[in-house]
Amino acid sequence: MSRRQMLTRAAGGFGAIALTGMLAEMDALADGSGSRDPLAPRPGHYPAKAKNVIFLFMSGGVSHVDSFDPKPRLTKDHNKTLNVHNHRGHIGNFQQHFKKAQWEFRHRGESGIEVSDLFPHVGEVIDDIAVIRSMTTDHIAHYEATLGMHTGSF
């Protein structure tokens, strides 16, 4: 995929995010009573200081379990088998095996964010990086989750 194609595909999602933020600032989205939508724009806790944003979208990128999302339970249950029946849209019976992360995690920087040993140099600058661990979705397929992330239609 060329850079031009990537920007064309991502522009809609970024444009929607920017437009939503601008409309929220103008109170065009608020009715005065406060929105019940948990995804509705809200003012930040602090004034924005960022001058630039680097958005990394790595389709098929490094697993979250091997990078910035330690899962102690996976280490504890490594190689255990889980029998699954009709789970989240998958019909039939199958087995899953728990696998621990391939790298150790260490608390890095003043923030103490855990970063795997896969990224030792990232660990040195982790205090300058925003690590978001609060995103969730009901989708199990990458396509649906990717669409939701780029459009905000979770």
116 in a structural domain: yes
56 in a structural domain: no
CA distance 62 to 99: 15
CA distance 59 to 29: 32
Number of structural domains in the chain: 1
51 in a structural domain: no
153 in a structural domain: no
13 in a structural domain: no
The tens digit of pLDDT for each residue in 70-117 reads: 999 988 999 998 877 666 666 667 778 888 998 999 999 999 999 999
Backbone angles phi, psi at 29, to 5 degrees: -100, -15
Looking at the DSSP bridge assignments, the partners of residue 83 are 95
The tens digit of pLDDT for each residue in 128-148 reads: 998 888 877 777 677 787 787
29 in a structural domain: no
Residue whose tokens read 């601008």: 22
Range of the domain at 87: 62-136
72 in a structural domain: yes
- Structural contact between residues 54 and 73, judged by C-beta atoms closer than 8 angstroms: no
113 in a structural domain: yes
pTM of full prediction above 0.85: no
Which uninterrupted H or E stretch holds 81? strand 81-85
